[in-house]
Structure 1
Amino acid sequence: MRELIASFVSLADEEWLAFSKLLLQKSFPKGSFLCREGQIENHIFFLVKGATRNYFLKDGKEFTVDFLFEGDMVTAYYSFITREPSMIAIQAIEDIEAILIPYQLLQDFYLNSHSGERIGRLIAEFHYKKRLEREMALLSTTAEERYAQLMDRNPELIRKTAVKHLSTYLGIQPESLSRIRKSYSRN
């Protein structure tokens, strides 16, 4: 558990002891929701095992905004920081083992520890960086390049993921993704 958290922030033993008391462990079966659209996000999740698909609905159609995998931090961050209902749903696309940080306990840690403030800043920086990278990829890379990047992260899961979910994530039509998949499998 400490190694996973340390990938985001390193803490001295004393600080780790205080912080680790905030953490919960929980399992989520495939298909379950870590957060639903319209729900206020109350946790930050560190994926020990498994993967999620983050999406929103518009006019009855699902738009996938992210896939997150083992070792990633997952949350409906806008909802988490604003305390407003989430605009996205976070669904397990594999069985998940996660470490959870509850909102209120994290807020208390922020107030009582310099390390807490640092953790909060690093979480915010992580989400900003991830969002900027996603925006830049959508504007400056081809769908083929974005697909290859996903395949590099988790090829087995991406091969099993529904074309409709992958195509909205890549910003292309399902027919185009089918062509990309065929071309990718030949190479």
Structure 2
Amino acid sequence: MEDFEKYLYDIVKLSDSSVRRILSFVVCKEIKKKEFLIRPGKVGNFIAFVNSGVLRYFIGKDGSEYNIDFHLKFTFASAYSSFLTGKPAIGFLQALEDSQLLILGKESYNELLAENIEAYKFAKFISDDYFLRKCKRQTSLLMDSAKDRYSLLLETYPGIEQKVPQYQIASYLGIKPESLSRIKSLT
């Protein structure tokens, strides 16, 4: 919890009273490798701060998995569209290693927003982070070579190669694992 508290002060830049209020709502949850937090058809009714571990958000289609996002230490994880709309998620949120999460439920989130204007700063921080990562990835998929997409991945998620299997990284990049091996051999 100390890391999250420090994060709220140093990165999000919240006041002491706002940090204390947010901390009063979060619940610590330990999850095991391969455990799912969200599955398609279920509403994502929480946002999680990854205190330790790694998660992935992916969709399945025709027996294949397509990685959409990774959530490493000190990032927020959710089926964010589902969280915002209250509609069922279309993907899976799964732990790639044993992880510790700090969970903020949707009702608590809404209560924070209703009582504290500074909570909007916290909500905007989360929203901006999701939006910017999504935009960077979409633009990269359309504009960049596979090698450039790989470089962006390494920049966006430092240390990801030690935590995520190569075939999942290849899926995120929109390439085959063999192509990722070739790219890595050229760098």
Give me the TM-score of the superposition, normalised by structure 2. Answer: 0.88
76, 94, 103: which one pairs with 1:73?
76
Q: How far does residue 8 in structure 1 lie from its aligned partner after superposition?
A: 4.9
Length, aligned pairs only:
181
Deviations 1:32-84 (A, max 9, x none): 11211221101111111111121001122111111221111111100001111
1:10-159 correspondence to structure 2 within 5 Å? 10-151=13-154, 153-154=158-159, 155-158=161-164
Q: What code does the residue aligned with 2:86 have? A: R
Once residues 97 and 5 of structure 1 are traced to their aligned partners in structure 2, the CA distance between those partners, rounded to angstroms, is 17
Residue pair 1:4, 1:46 contacting (<8 A) in 2 also: no
Once residues 51 and 40 of structure 2 are traced to their aligned partners in structure 1, the CA distance between those partners, rounded to angstroms, is 23
Q: How far does residue 25 in structure 1 lie from its aligned partner after superposition?
A: 0.9
Once residues 120 and 83 of structure 1 are traced to their aligned partners in structure 2, the CA distance between those partners, rounded to angstroms, is 16
Once residues 144 and 153 of structure 2 are traced to their aligned partners in structure 1, the CA distance between those partners, rounded to angstroms, is 13
Once residues 89 and 78 of structure 1 are traced to their aligned partners in structure 2, the CA distance between those partners, rounded to angstroms, is 13
Flag the 1:37–1:8 CA change in 2: closer, same or farther, 3 A. Answer: farther
Unaligned runs of 5+ in 1: none
Residue pair 2:36, 2:94 contacting (<8 A) in 1 also: yes
Residue pair 2:14, 2:122 contacting (<8 A) in 1 also: no
Once residues 61 and 10 of structure 2 are traced to their aligned partners in structure 1, the CA distance between those partners, rounded to angstroms, is 35
**Which sits farther off after the overlay, 131-140 or 95-104?**
131-140
Sequence identity (%): 27
Once residues 71 and 146 of structure 1 are traced to their aligned partners in structure 2, the CA distance between those partners, rounded to angstroms, is 22
SS at match of 2:163: helix
Deviations 1:160-185 (A, max 9, x none): x042x22221111232123223334x
Give me the TM-score of the superposition, normalised by structure 1. Answer: 0.88
